[in-house]
Amino acid sequence: MGESNTLKSFVETAAKSAFPIQNLPYGVFVTAGNSGPRTGVAIGDKVLDLSLLESKGLLPKSADPIHGTGSLNAFAAMGRSYWLKTRETLQSLLSESSDAKDAVSQCLIGREETQMQMPFKVGSFTDFYACENHASNVGRLFRKGQPPLMPNWKHLPVAYHGRATTVFVDGTPVVRPSGLVMKPGQEAPEFSASRKMDYELELGIFVGTGNPDGEPIAAKNALDHIFGFVILNDWSARDIQAFEYKPLGPFLGKSFATSISPWVVTPDALKPCMKDHVVDGPVQAEYLKNGSKLMPHIDFSVELETQDGGHKEICEANSKELYWTPDQMLAHHSINGCVMQTGDLLGTGTISGKEEGTLGSLLEATMNGAEPVDMSCGEKRTFLQDGDHLKISGQANCGDYIVGFGEVGATLLPARELF
């Protein structure tokens, strides 16, 4: 058993929680008594106020205060060596043997007293299509009689550029979008509210330090540029998407909302559940095959609650199902000289397994609405209805402890009356 496994915190609730001292995810929060957003760390049922800790001189020095800025951007821009130094300092301060228990205790707040905010000011959002199971399922649904994967799929991480302005934190309601929809048998589309609202279970990746000079980020160094991970739900209006996506790809069918969990879990916290990742595919380009070849193994659960009290877990999946690793996605994104910046967000694309109950979207789970999901109250769902609340939670099993992500949830609201 390694040293990190035996490390314990003086915060009594930490060891058996999703936020033990081995995790220490970062987020941004406010409280009723202090509306100023500042950086916090989850530990047990508490939040450690890093802005207050910084003011006491207990954190690694920086040129300017960085934990009261209202986002993680300034902290993430400091780079990996500073992240490591901060993590080591926090583990020391929160440990059973800490010499600063009294000072640190003054900076602890009950998690129930906090309200979480967006962790980053997101500069750009890119959504990948990195799970073979999902891509194959979608290909079989919409390209019947053809190979499920396009010829390029196993040679490069396919992606599209999304909207950073509509990335929302856990708890933010989502409004049903409207757009042009082509109904079966019609010759022209009609403008209407989407009738096929869906979710997509994904892992989100936040860039810490980018490449301001446009120099490509090598896959072997990419993990050093990744600040952390969140749960991501890239909401999808399948009927709007179906009419607009040829020939260019997703646009209005996806740009209306993306939800993320508030706690950002670092690669260092996930090290014990990073496992060698081997895929069955063609020889990859040199810039993609020289990475870490590590994939975090994170268990996800998706729960759907209806307005009438129905409740069902509709999906359990694991990030090991991804074909492309996080470092490959970042390396590919930058290989053409694309400038990546602190706070940029990458989504992995929908994570789906092979078995029933492991499909990370209703599109797959219901075969595009042909096979409804039975809810506990007798209701059925093909796609999401107004008032439905969808919640995704995640955690990684590290043996003697778990590394939790918390959750991301949102309620679907009716479409706006536009015309």
Give the catalytic positions in this structure. Answer: 134
Whole-angstrom distance, CA of residue 60 vs CA of residue 282: 46
Q: Where are the strands (E) in 293-357, listed by range? A: 294-296, 299-305, 311-318, 345-347
| C-alpha span between 260 and 40 (Å, rounded) | 17
Distance, CA of 207 to CA of 125 (rounded, Å): 10
β strands within 32-182, DSSP E = 34-43, 46-49, 108-110, 114-116, 125-128, 159-161, 167-169, 174-175, 178-181
Please give the Cα distance from 130 to 154 (Å, whole number): 9
DSSP 190: E
- Residue written as token pair 């060698």: 276
How far apart CA 135 and CA 153 sit, in angstroms, is 9
Contact status, residue 43 vs residue 18, Cβ threshold 8 Å:
no
Taking 3-state DSSP, the helix, strand and coil percentages for the chain, each rounded to the nearest 5, stand at: 20, 30, 50
